[in-house]
Amino acid sequence: MNGICTALGRLLHHLGPSPGVIKVTRDNKLKWILAGHDGWGNSGWDGSGPSPAPYLLTAVDANGNPEPDIVQSGEAAAPDFDWTWGQHCPSLLPSGNLLCFDNGFRRWFQGVGACIPAARNSRSTRRR
């Protein structure tokens, strides 16, 4: 974990090399996971804990319609949406939006040595 934002009684954690940001209450209750849906097995060191599926947020388009499954999984981006990859420094803005910096590491689950030119970019992202 390389970023923590505490604001309004909430904790936002960046999950280190994993593509995701989580929201946890001060009393240690998981609220949501902002990440592509692939690769999230059951919790616990041995995978015997509960499924994180109910906490994974759904990506929606500008009209509020869910993005296609390939976008939800994190294997592709939509024209106006992509999950964060290599995100760090989560910050809660006065508007309530979440700002993250995104270095694009392993975007769309590409291998460590892979280079998809469109996937290799740094950016800042704002989520509502």
> Three-state DSSP class for 109?
helix
Q: CB of 23 within 8 A of CB of 9?
A: no
Active-site choice (13, 14, 37, 88): 88
Q: CB of 85 within 8 A of CB of 106?
A: yes
Question: Is 88 one of the catalytic residues?
Answer: yes
Going 73 to 10 to 6 to 4, the CA torsion angle's sign is negative
Encoding tokens for residue 16?
């280190």
Q: What angle do CA 19, 24, 25 make, to 5 degrees?
A: 165
Active-site residue set: 88
